[in-house]
Structure 1
C-alpha cells in the first residue's frame, strides 16, 4: 500500500507542476507540451483525483500507526 502512496505523491507533484493555467505551454518557449482548454481541464481533473487518492491513502496508512 505504501507503493501506491509513493506513486500518488509523485503523480500529484507532477500534475501540479504541469497544471499552470497562466502559461500557454510548459517550459520557456517549448511547444512540446502545449495543450488546449479541454486538455487543461482533464489535467486539472487528474490532479484532483490523484490528490484525493493521496489523502485517502495517507489517512488509511496513518490508521496502522495509531490503533
Structure 2
C-alpha cells in the first residue's frame, strides 16, 4: 500500500514540478521569435532534445570514469 501511495505522490510531485518549470519559461507565442530558445518543455521536440543531451552527457561521463 505504501508503494502505491509513494507512486501517486511521486507522479503528483512530477506534474507539479513540470508545471512550475513551464510557468517560469517564456512563451514563443507571447514573445515572438526571441523566445524560440527558451520554449517550454511541454513541446515534445524540446523534451527529446534535452533527453538526447542527457544521454550523451551520461555516456561521456561513463567513458571518462571507466577509463581510469
| Structure with the largest fraction of helix | 2
What TM-score, normalized by structure 1, do the two folds share?
A: 0.45
Higher relative contact order (CA 8 A, sep 6+): 1
- Based on CA coordinates, which of the two structures has the bigger radius of gyration? 2
